[in-house]
Structure 1
Amino acid sequence: MAQLYSTLLTFCLLLSIGVHSQPQSKDKCTYQGDEDTLSFYQEGDVVLGGLFPMHFSPVSSDLSFRTKPKPKTYKFFTPRALRWMQTMIFAVNEINQRKDLLSNLSLGYHIKDSGDDIPISIKRSLLLVNGQPERGREGQDCQDTQKQPSPVIVGEASSGISMAVLRTLGSFKIPVVSYFASCSCLSNKREFPAFMRTMPSDAFQIKALVKLFHYFQWTWVGVTGVDTDYARFAIQHFLKESEKFYICPAYVLLYPVALTQHAVEEFVNILKASSATVILNFSVESYLHGILKECRRQNVTHLQWIASEAWATSKDLWEDFGDLLQGTLGFAIRRAEITHLGSYLRRLSVPVAQTSHFLSEFWEETFHCRIKGSLNTHVHREDAQNWPPCNSSESLDDVYTTYSDVSQLRVSYNVYKAVYLIAHALHIMSTCIPGKGPFQNGTCGSLNPILPWQLLYYMKRTHFTTLGEEVRFDDNGDPIASYDLMNWQRGSDGSLQLVKLGFYDASLEEDKDLIIDEPIIMWHRGEKAPESLCSKSCLPGSRKARQKGKPICCFDCIPCADGEISNQTDSIDCLTCSKETWPNQAQDQCIPKTLEFLSFQEPLGIVLWSVSALGAFTTLAVLGVFIKYRKTPVIRGNNMELSLLLLLFLSACFLISLTFIGKPTDWLCRIRYPAFGISFALCISCILAKTVVVLMAFRATLPGSDVMKWFGPAQQRSSVILCTCVQSLICIIWLTTKPPFASHNTKFMSATLIVECSVGSEVGFWCVLGYIGFFAFLCFLLAFLARKLPDNFNEAKFITFSMLIFFAVWITFIPVYVSTRGKYTVAVHVFAILASAFGLLLCIFAPKCYIVLLKPEKNDKRSMMKK
């Protein structure tokens, strides 16, 4: 809209000057439009144009056009902008007095009030670059009465107005140097090729603000601004940049320049209802009065305000809203001390004020008096007509005003640098040697007249030093950004103290560009930085889970799953610990797992090795009984040699179970399984031999049978050795191909690392068990067939029971072994060994020991021969 408006206005003005202003004679001009004499003007070889927002908030007027429209008037006057104007005049005069800069050229100025209004700014910028008659009388001489055109303009303060002016003047490549327009959109050289500025681009301010929010961990903030190009582009850039640091807007609000009561109430209601306690505002101070007034009325006093550079150092708001704005933080552009500027500003007096509309207006507004013959046509107060006459005794030394306050020369310093930028460009241009110039055929720039496009060429390549600062510009015509971080603090007298807390320098490294002296900050409430979060931070040990339908800053904290940790605050994901580590109780670090194995010291291990020792001791005791009573009928009648071997091998089985207890090692694992397999193979082989002998003994009683010659003691020992050799061969093949080894079992998600013996070859392991099972089944079958054979010598019944127990134990062992893990797997294996060994011991040898020890009267030949 601003672009369209400026284009139409330009067309109309050019049309009015070029068509409707046909001179009555060759040397006469007719000025179209209102008289516009409100300006500062000084002749010079080069006249610099200036646009400053002396007034704002225009008063609506009747535009019926039945009478001549009156010039636009405004509600408010800005002493701060008057200081900017005076700074430009001061800089021009200072340069004219120098001998080392522009010694052969003098500078002049033509400065106008932009009214902080697009139509007025465009109109007056055209007057600056085209010149203007001294008075609006028709028929004046064109050459003698025109003010000199300006080839360059210092202005404007507002980004939106600067864009409108640039779209008008840009077609003519007339350079515009802004001292306060910070919108990053103005860096677009394709759209604004003739624009330069001494004000850093908002792109840098936004980076500084985002880093400030990130520093204090404010992730849930309100973002507001006045509905102008400056605020719209700044907010858009802020929202994009803040995504990198996971900062979310609780709300984004743009309020109109002309605030209605309904609009301001609705705006403050949103601030009041939001959980965000930090609010960022892109505006100038003049548009904040209505907002802050309504905040006070609704008692919205808890907000921590963050100021954009447009009002970060403005003291006008403090008098009325100091209680709301105490503790405000904001980035301000670089400050400087301009020598003698303060005394220059305070030289203003009634006689000087009488020479200018602007100065008269300022004097009367400041001292509430009327200057005799005042040129002031803007009356802002209803009681102004009752003001007494000024008596010339008033002095700026006796009052405080932002006009004469030179403690925070920031925008004024930008104006100062803008004038010096143009002066240095003109100096280089004026000292150019013909034939070595930058233009075609080595020509230099024209000095009479100054061609704006040539001046723009030099300006873009100018760098200089002023007040100790080296001023440089990038390819977009933007200066290198440097900001001071300011804090609004209340002084002992209640006045505003702008305290510098640190700085942001875009030329420094990424992690060193923002420096903050946090201990000296005075916060709006309390001594600590306020919290502004949608959700409180997730502590280490948990992760963030976004709440559905809400911004990324709103989340729930979910504890990490088993085996996972998060060692940072607000972790997005949990990290899985390695196989050898496990989370600590807080789940914020991985610690080595506790080694788990069946230990001799733990209760389960103690029970098992105690039972194993008991079994071995009992077996050896039985062996002793058999040796002692070896000549008795009961012992001799049941194959004493095989019985002794079986007892010896059973004691070995009990002792071998001890190898399953303790921390496994490779060698222990390689001993454990073969020893287990061979010892049980020996036991089952002995039992098998005993069973076969029983069967063959009854067959040998038949007439003509000589079977027993094949089952003598030598044959029995050979059969035991042969059967065991097969098991030994299986074990040797197992050990040589894929032997057992000690391993750390990490497949189970737990805090313990299971140290166990891996069988290596599953086939080898089950072959060993299968071989034992095969011989046990064969024993059971033969014993079952011999169970009803007569005679007390028959052990078949006892062997049958022992094999039933053996099968019950090992059949139960298989599913339990597969379903358990860790040390309990080993415990099941040990239990199976002990249970089956005790089964063999009790079923086969308990009856004999009972007779030998408790019923010796039955241990004779006659009792043995009974049926």
Structure 2
Amino acid sequence: MTFEKHPSHELFDALVYFLASWTYLASMELLSTRNRFVPNYKCDFHNKLVGVIGGPNSEICLHMATILNIYKIPQLTYGSAPVINNKVQASFFHQMFPNLMHQYKGIVKLLIYFNWVWIGVVSLDDDGEMFVQNVLPIFSKEGICLDFFERISKMTFSGEIFEVSGDWIQAANIIMRSTANVVAVHGEIQTIIVLRMLFYLSKQEAIPVQTKVWMMTAQMDFASLGFQRDFDIDFLHGAISFAIHSKEVLGFQEFLQMKNPTSEEEDSFIKIFWEEVFDCSVPSSGKDGKAGEICTGEEKLETLPVSVFEMSMTGHSYSIYNAVYAVAYALQSMHSCNSQHRAKLKRVREQQPWQLHQFLRSVSFNNGAGEKISFDQNGELVAGFDIINWVIFPNQSFLRVKVGRTDPKAYEDKGFSIHEETITWPSRFNQARPLSLCNDHCHPGYRKTKKEGKPFCCYDCFPCAEGKVSNQKDMNDCFECPEDQYPNKVQDFCIPKSISFLSYQEPLGISLTMFALFFSFITALVLQIFVKHQDTPIVKANNRDLTYTLLICLLLSFLCALLFIDRPQKLTCFLRQTAFGIIFTVAVSCVLAKTAIVVLAFMATKPRSRIRNWVGKRLSSSIVFSCSFVQGIICMVWLTTNPPFPHLDKHSMAEEIVLECNEGSTFMFYCVLSFLGFLAVVSFIVAFLARKLPDSFNEAKFITFSMLVFCSVWLSFVPTYLSTKGKYMVAVEVFSILASSAGLLACIFSPKCYVIVLRPDLNQRKHLINTTH
């Protein structure tokens, strides 16, 4: 190769070294006498072939095996090994390259670690079949999608450069326009040459170059052609690659520094290489150099840019180093074994290459870097991979920094390690971990919904339904909070519910308590007034005992409301509804008895009326007792079959757990209310019919108003009670108790108290008689 060649020719020259014909020729030369190529003929005893180290790619190894397997020559490959289905042929292979599946698993783990689920894949033609078969299914299983899978064409003839370049430009368009920020490249040592051409053609065709994070396999290595010397390699800045695990070998730097093309000990390759990289001519090489451009041998390899020559040992070099020592240790083991039976020199002459296989397979030694080298039962090197971060400098030199490792010998959870803080990312990402997603994450509070016609990594985000939350990114569905918790406003986590009940410490509870105590005081005051003026006509009228009973029931009803306030207990739950039902039944039955007495008293004034016998205390007592007895039976059945009990209601309120009294039997609760309502309606009807009957201060009219208030309150109670939740249901019932009781108190007793206290002149028998007549 020369720099004066056309780039297409030089590119072809570089790629042609990997063609089958060249490999076959080199393999045949190894089997022939040195410098005298006669196929299948060797007369040189001193240069006996015992093994071949081949690479760097699978094609060379495969073509090499076609010839060498015939002679059962041990072959050690330092690059990726070919897929050989013939077990006999495979037995001659010893791979200085670890099992590829370890690398593929490492790639998947790396993608998952960085959450790169939307990627592109690039592969040279025919190089990625194993990658496609073994890795792409794992991608799908682990939730990784491909934006594109691009096979880059290879050039086999120099005349194909223009045809192939068209394919390369098309591939560059696909890669650069992709929304994936990460591109996995599966290839071999020559792949970087092609990648550099892609970027060169992108600039030539004005294709917008978008920075990507390139993830490269260990089979690849940095390679460069002469005409690519001035090409930018900025696209590799921040790239991540896998490499065969290696360590710096002691003395390797000094070994390189001692190289001199003018030395007779050096082979022709060194001289050709020297002329290419230093652009000079070695006199003994036979090359016609330019005047004044003679290689002096004083040139230093360390002065070359890293993009031209690396002074550090790469993974491929490390594999070759270990392969040489593996053959040496295997030969030593074979000679030691055979020396027990025959003279060592004689055995060396008679040894056959195939005899070395068993010793190679079982070889185990520590190399110059202090690492143990051995093969497994499949002839593969027992080793892991280093994870390398590429750092490119402005002068186009670069540094490979080890940032992690995959170790198949470690436990599953420790077989992969990465030091993210040491990674240098491409400049576009401002040293932040790049994202490679089809779309933005669904934040907590949202759920994923698949986009029609798109890979499963592409989705829309929708808010969680009411009452559900999602507390992580990209959740497939939202979930309901536990019973004792509720979603926050943005629905990204659950908040513990507070326990709620109608308490004395809150304004509503305090207000209802104050009203209950106030009306209790008023009722007690009215009762005191009536007891103090018990002998006056207005108190005696309409059955004084019924009046006292009604006032006591109203007093108890106001106090009964206090049972509904504060934390429900077993006893208060047991008593509150039954006490309310019985007290109100007695009160309403007293009102009914009063009304009935008014009607019967009027009817008894008619001549020869038999109803006169019914008028009296026995009638009123019978009404009150019978009504109370029926309600008492209902409450007794309720309490003995399914009584109320304290209960935590976790469902009716979104943000609270309601501590309430469960009625036990809702049917029995409405039976109590229904019987009470029945009495109230009967009392209202009777009072309404008797409202115009002549009576002292027309008590029937006052009872009509009171029962109208009473019925209105409890008729509105039912829908209001059913439409409220939590402690407000209790507040509605307490309010209804207080309002209905206050209605009875105000409508029935306020006119009488007015007469007793403010108009004692009307509280006269004569006035009562005049009013009656």
Q: TM-score, normalised by structure 2?
A: 0.84
- Aligned partner of 1:506 in structure 2 is 408
The question of 1:304 aligning with 2:209 is answered no
Aligned counterpart in structure 2 of residue 469 of structure 1, from 371, 384, 399? 371
Q: For residues 100-148 of structure 1, what are the alpha-carbon distances to aligned partners after superposition, in whole Å with 9 as ceiling and x for unaligned?
A: xxxxxxxxxxxxxx921134324544664x64685457xx995647997
Alignment RMSD:
4.1
Structure 2 portions without partners, runs of 5+: 156-160, 342-346
- Aligned partner of 1:417 in structure 2 is 322
- Aligned partner of 1:597 in structure 2 is 501
Equivalents in 1 of 2:726, 2:592: separation in Å?
Answer: 35
Moved more, 564-573 or 141-150: 141-150
- Aligned partner of 1:732 in structure 2 is 636
1:393–1:779 CA distance, 2 compared to 1 (3 A): closer
- Aligned partner of 2:75 in structure 1 is 176
Code of the aligned partner of 1:502:
G
Alignment of 1:524-535 (within 5 A): 524-525=426-427, 526-535=430-439
- Aligned partner of 1:239 in structure 2 is 136
Q: CA deviation at 1:151?
A: 6.1
The question of 1:368 aligning with 2:279 is answered yes
Q: For residues 771-825 of structure 1, what are the alpha-carbon distances to aligned partners after superposition, in whole Å with 9 as ceiling and x for unaligned?
A: 3223333434444554454444764444344334333322322222222211221
- Aligned partner of 1:634 in structure 2 is 538
- Asked if 1 retains the 8 angstrom alpha-carbon contact of 2:24 and 2:63, the reply is yes
Code of the aligned partner of 1:307:
M
Equivalents in 2 of 1:515, 1:286: separation in Å?
Answer: 30
Equivalents in 1 of 2:253, 2:199: separation in Å?
Answer: 32
- Asked if 2 retains the 8 angstrom alpha-carbon contact of 1:281 and 1:308, the reply is yes
The question of 1:199 aligning with 2:97 is answered yes
Alignment of 1:41-440 (within 5 A): 75-76=12-13, 115-122=17-24, 124-125=26-27, 128=30, 131=32, 135=36, 144=43, 150=49, 152-166=51-65, 175-181=74-80, 192-229=90-127, 231-234=128-131, 237-243=134-140, 245-258=142-155, 260-283=164-187, 284-297=191-204, 298=206, 300=209, 302-311=211-220, 320-340=231-251, 348-350=259-261, 352=263, 357-371=268-282, 374=285, 386=290, 390=294, 393-396=297-300, 400=304, 405-432=310-337
Equivalents in 1 of 2:238, 2:246: separation in Å?
Answer: 20
Equivalents in 2 of 1:594, 1:289: separation in Å?
Answer: 65
Q: CA deviation at 1:727?
A: 2.5
Equivalents in 2 of 1:246, 1:398: separation in Å?
Answer: 46
Q: CA deviation at 1:573?
A: 3.1
Q: For residues 723-760 of structure 1, what are the alpha-carbon distances to aligned partners after superposition, in whole Å with 9 as ceiling and x for unaligned?
A: 32442343233233322122221223612222222101
Q: For residues 247-276 of structure 1, what are the alpha-carbon distances to aligned partners after superposition, in whole Å with 9 as ceiling and x for unaligned?
A: 333322221123633223222222332233
- Asked if 1 retains the 8 angstrom alpha-carbon contact of 2:116 and 2:182, the reply is yes
Q: CA deviation at 1:197?
A: 0.7
Equivalents in 2 of 1:462, 1:306: separation in Å?
Answer: 33
Q: CA deviation at 1:597?
A: 2.4
- Aligned partner of 2:663 in structure 1 is 759
- Asked if 1 retains the 8 angstrom alpha-carbon contact of 2:603 and 2:609, the reply is yes
- Asked if 1 retains the 8 angstrom alpha-carbon contact of 2:33 and 2:43, the reply is no
- Aligned partner of 2:380 in structure 1 is 478
Equivalents in 1 of 2:266, 2:408: separation in Å?
Answer: 44
- Asked if 2 retains the 8 angstrom alpha-carbon contact of 1:566 and 1:587, the reply is yes
- Aligned partner of 1:566 in structure 2 is 470
Q: CA deviation at 1:180?
A: 1.1
- Aligned partner of 1:96 in structure 2 is none
- Aligned partner of 1:70 in structure 2 is none
1:335 alignment partner, SS class: coil
- Aligned partner of 1:19 in structure 2 is none
The question of 1:672 aligning with 2:576 is answered yes
1:412–1:671 CA distance, 2 compared to 1 (3 A): same
- Aligned partner of 1:92 in structure 2 is none
Q: CA deviation at 1:414?
A: 0.7
- Asked if 2 retains the 8 angstrom alpha-carbon contact of 1:327 and 1:488, the reply is yes
- Aligned partner of 2:344 in structure 1 is none
Code of the aligned partner of 1:302:
T
Equivalents in 2 of 1:455, 1:782: separation in Å?
Answer: 122
Code of the aligned partner of 1:849:
C
Moved more, 401-410 or 756-765: 401-410
2:651 alignment partner, SS class: coil
Moved more, 387-396 or 195-204: 387-396
1:611–1:733 CA distance, 2 compared to 1 (3 A): same
Code of the aligned partner of 1:487:
N
- Asked if 2 retains the 8 angstrom alpha-carbon contact of 1:742 and 1:755, the reply is yes
Q: CA deviation at 1:578?
A: 0.8
Equivalents in 1 of 2:712, 2:371: separation in Å?
Answer: 96
1:497 alignment partner, SS class: strand
Equivalents in 2 of 1:817, 1:855: separation in Å?
Answer: 42
Equivalents in 1 of 2:671, 2:295: separation in Å?
Answer: 122
1:830–1:355 CA distance, 2 compared to 1 (3 A): closer
1:817–1:397 CA distance, 2 compared to 1 (3 A): closer
Equivalents in 1 of 2:577, 2:567: separation in Å?
Answer: 15
Code of the aligned partner of 1:200:
P
1:186–1:285 CA distance, 2 compared to 1 (3 A): farther
Number of aligned residue pairs: 746
Equivalents in 1 of 2:130, 2:474: separation in Å?
Answer: 30
Q: For residues 434-460 of structure 1, what are the alpha-carbon distances to aligned partners after superposition, in whole Å with 9 as ceiling and x for unaligned?
A: 999xxxxxxxx99945263x5444433
Equivalents in 2 of 1:485, 1:211: separation in Å?
Answer: 12
Equivalents in 1 of 2:751, 2:383: separation in Å?
Answer: 103
Q: CA deviation at 1:158?
A: 1.0
Equivalents in 2 of 1:158, 1:629: separation in Å?
Answer: 121
% identity of equivalent residues = 35
Equivalents in 2 of 1:864, 1:170: separation in Å?
Answer: 138
Q: CA deviation at 1:186?
A: 6.4
Equivalents in 2 of 1:520, 1:328: separation in Å?
Answer: 13
Structure 1 portions without partners, runs of 5+: 1-52, 62-72, 79-113, 377-383, 437-444
1:165–1:684 CA distance, 2 compared to 1 (3 A): farther
Equivalents in 2 of 1:186, 1:659: separation in Å?
Answer: 89
1:771 alignment partner, SS class: helix
Equivalents in 2 of 1:635, 1:547: separation in Å?
Answer: 84
Q: CA deviation at 1:547?
A: 3.0
1:321 alignment partner, SS class: coil
